[in-house]
């Protein structure tokens, strides 16, 4: 009996893999621009990250706020802004692994 289930599980596994889009987000249309406008005008630094004060000489980047804002962007179907923030976060905050 269990031998008959193996092909079924294999097909389900293959079907769940799906197609990838090369790492780029699918184009979507945002539902609202109100929050994005406020964040851009008041908190988005030159490097694309959310800072405590936009025009501070030494800004403090708010990683938790970045994560919450990215979650909001997903719920708002704004893939373009999400991807831009993801790339900025990866570039500015991610570290390279070095093992000595």
Burial class (CB in 10 A: 0-12, 13-18, 19+), 4: exposed
pLDDT of residue 37: 86
**What pairs with residue 51 in β-bridges?**
61
**What does residue 94 show for φ and ψ, rounded to 5 degrees?**
-75, 145
Give the pTM: 0.60
pLDDT in tens, 60-81: 888 888 999 999 999 988 899 9
- The domains of the chain are located at 32-94
């Amino acid at each position: 009996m269990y031998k008959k289930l193996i092909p079924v599980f294999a097909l389900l596994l293959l079907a769940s893999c799906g197609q990838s889009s090369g790492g780029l987000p699918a184009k979507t249309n945002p539902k609202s621009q109100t929050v994005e406008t406020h964040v851009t005008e008041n908190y988005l630094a030159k490097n694309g990250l959310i800072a405590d004060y936009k025009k501070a000489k030494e800004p403090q980047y708010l990683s938790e706020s970045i994560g919450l804002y990215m979650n909001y962007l997903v719920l708002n179907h704004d893939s373009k802004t999400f991807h831009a923030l993801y790339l900025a976060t990866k570039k500015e905050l991610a570290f390279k692994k070095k093992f000595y």
